Each structure stands twice: as structure tokens, then as C-alpha cells.
A = this chain, B = another copy of it.
Amino acid sequence: MVSDKTIARLSLYRRLLKVLEGEGVRSVFSQQLATMAGGTAAQLRRDLMEVGYSGTPNNGYEVARLADSIRDFLDVPGGQSVVLVGVGNLGKALLSYFATRRSSLQVVAAFDSDPYKVNRVIHGCRCYPMDSLSEVLKGQTATVAVIAVPAAGAQGVAEALTRAGVRGILNFAPVRLRVSPNVYVEDIDMTVALEKVAYFGRPIAGRTRKEPPA
């Protein structure tokens, strides 16, 4: 089973390859691409083993073909539909963030319990009432969802999504979701992330890095 870290890096490589492609670069060495991704060449080569695409010694990797190979590996052929639950400040920001991005992942529906938001179209996405979730999802093939509701409501939303067939959840709510083991959950805990940054970026202490005496 390929690790989630490898998947994350492949996603990153693909984005970098698209940039190179736009710049007219035809081929790239593992060392170059790895540096851009913030990793090592050996790691990149191991990641690409999973994809199955082979470079050629002394010539490196064909940018366009490698990007295609990663696409074939990562993406579901017909594309995947994504739904968003929670259209507050964060939800709206996510809609605008994901609206004009990759064509393979498209946000097809948003849900909110606030009647003032229902039936509006926000960043090109229709907002449905919360309690119509199972009904709307019945007509969709969405297996991926983004949760951007307050902590208190997140578990209930996760259960409703799971019942509706969702198999992957990107969770922004600061709670640990209890879901069945065949549902993949990725948590983005922004408060924890900020506290981490605050700890390691603190003014004086936390800064004692072992350095060999000169």
C-alpha cells in the first residue's frame, strides 16, 4: 500500500511539473525536481517507482509525460465530485480556493443549515439546505467531502456523509471524527498548526539547536 506521504508528494510534483511545462521546460532531473519540492532525489525516485514511470539515465524525466503519468496514477478517470458542508467564512474561502482549480476535482454542492444561505450560488456552487444532504448526494457520485462546520456539528455531519457513501473527508473542524475504518479522514487543524509555529518561532527559548562548537 502506497503511503499517504508519497501521495502528497506526487501531488506536489505534479504541480511543479505544470509550472515547468508552462515555462517550456522539456525534461528535468530528479535532483532539480526534488529540490523544488523540498525533498531529496532518492526520495523522489522511490516515489516515482510507485507511479511506474521511468526516466532515462542522463536525460532525466520528460516533464509532460511524467505529469501525465502522475495524473493517471492519482486521478479517477471520469473525475471526482466534491461536496462542501458549512458555508461560513472558512467554507466560502474554500469554495473560492477550490473553484477555479483542477478539473479532476470539482465542488458540485455546498450545504448549510442557515436558511439565508440556502439556494444561493457562491463562487459558482449551489448551496443546499443541510437536511437535503442524503437526497442531493443520491444524485451525485461524490465520494469526497470537505467539512467546515463548527466543532459541535462535525461528528453528525461526518455520519450523514458516510451514510451517503462518502469515503474521503477533509476535516477543518477541531474535533477528531469517529468514522468507520473504510473512510479516510484528513484533518487540518489550524489552531494546532498556529500553536506549533508559535512554539518553534518563540522569541528566545525553543531555539537551542545543537551546533558543533566552532
Identify A1's interface contact among B88, B94, B208, CB under 8 A.
Answer: B208
Kindly list chain B residues whose C-beta atoms are within 8 Å of the C-beta of A193: 8, 170, 186, 188
Complex CA distance for A182 and B199, rounded to whole angstroms: 13
Complex CA distance for A54 and B144, rounded to whole angstroms: 42
**How many residues on A have C-beta within 8 angstroms of the other chain's C-beta atoms?**
64
Complex CA distance for A15 and B195, rounded to whole angstroms: 12
Within 8 Å of chain B (Cβ to Cβ): is A102? yes
Residue of B whose beta carbon sits closest to that of A169: B197
Within 8 Å of chain B (Cβ to Cβ): is A129? no
Q: Are B93 and A196 in contact (CB under 8 A)?
A: no
What is the oligomeric copy number? 2
Kindly list chain B residues whose C-beta atoms are within 8 Å of the C-beta of A8: 189, 192-193, 195-196
Residue of B whose beta carbon sits closest to that of A92: B89
Identify A144's interface contact among B38, B94, B198, CB under 8 A.
Answer: B198
Q: Mark A176-205, 1 if CB is under 8 A from B, else 0.
A: 100000111110111111111111111100
Identify A93's interface contact among B90, B102, B166, B195, CB under 8 A.
Answer: B90
Q: Are A167 and B93 in contact (CB under 8 A)?
A: no
Q: Are B98 and A195 in contact (CB under 8 A)?
A: no
Can you list the 6 inter-chain pairs with the closest CB atoms, starting with the nearest?
A168-B201, A184-B200, A167-B201, A93-B93, A168-B197, A89-B93
Within 8 Å of chain B (Cβ to Cβ): is A40? no
